[in-house]
Amino acid sequence: MPDLAFGRIGLGAANVGNLYTAMTDAAAHDLLQAAWDAGVRYFDTAPHYGLGLSERRLGAFLATKPRDEFLVSTKVGRLLRPNPAGVGTLDDENSFVVPADQKRVWDASADGIRASLDESLERLGLDRVDIVFLHDPERYDLAGGLATGLPAMVDLREQGLVSAIGVGSMSTDGLLAAANSGAIDLLMVAGRFTLAEQPALLDVIPACRTNGVGIVNASIFNSGLLATENPGANARYEYGAVPAAVLAKVQAIAAVCREFGVTLPEAALQYTLREDSVSTVIVGANRPAQIEQNVERMATTIPEELWDRLTEKGLIPA
């Protein structure tokens, strides 16, 4: 895998694409500037995020920064095409507060992958990105997407158009197939390896170790459940309501954290970095204070005894 200077924490720019809530261009710039000022140098985006709005806003911000001082990743697999039927409506189906005058078209062919990258570069205003991820192939055609998309992405890497390639997914089946493909440098593991649950530990992470695949770990707060010190029944989990058993486990983890003077979000941010395959974690934010707080949380010292206690209680695996 290429030597990429991710840093321990990166910014996922879905919120910059008006995920759930609209923000102004100025507010988006302030959020990105806060991340930069806090030392964040890795930014992840996608055409999917706000139908290109995230890429455009991120690109406008990064245009003010030296190109060799940051890493940026985007996604391929979804092309944005005109959607006359959506004119006058919002992209509510995908939870982005943006006009639905474009639609997402799945295309993991060689031509589609190259078009996706070229169109992303135009929106970003960059001449290159560092990493491209095939985005959620399991949502369309996992086997077909990997069969055509990965060779096309290998070609991008061999041509020097990107430094690293990978697959981003919430599906352990998709992640495992990608890790064993022999083609990729990175996996973006979304919500499958967190302090609350670790299904990726069964097969995916061992495959990454065997194949030398690095992990960019995303959705480490399980959509919000682990982002507060004392989560309650109204906490968001995997974009929906939290099951009672999951909530009880997380509340027990939070209680152990308090014994050691550590908050649940601090532990959630740092837990997966104990695994050597994890190169960085990325978090989202919708206001500057959130990213600033998460950078501070990442710098907190967590005693090894905390992890030992959680293991003894069966709250995390050995």
83-88 contacts at long range (C-beta below 8 A, 24 or more positions apart): none
Q: Which of 49, 140, 237, 271 is catalytic?
A: 49
Calpha distance 92→94 (Å, rounded): 5
240 exposed, middle or buried (CB, 10 Å; 0-12, 13-18, 19+)? exposed
Closest alpha carbon to 52 in 1, 125, 2: 125
Per the DSSP assignment, residues forming a β-bridge with 44 are 12, 73
C-alpha dihedral over 43, 47, 49, 51, to 10 degrees? 140
Calpha distance 165→157 (Å, rounded): 7
Phi, psi of 236, deg, nearest 5: -90, 135
* Helical axes 142-158 vs 110-124, angle rounded to 10°: 60
Per the DSSP assignment, residues forming a β-bridge with 187 are 167, 215
Is 140 in the active site? no
Catalytic residues: 49
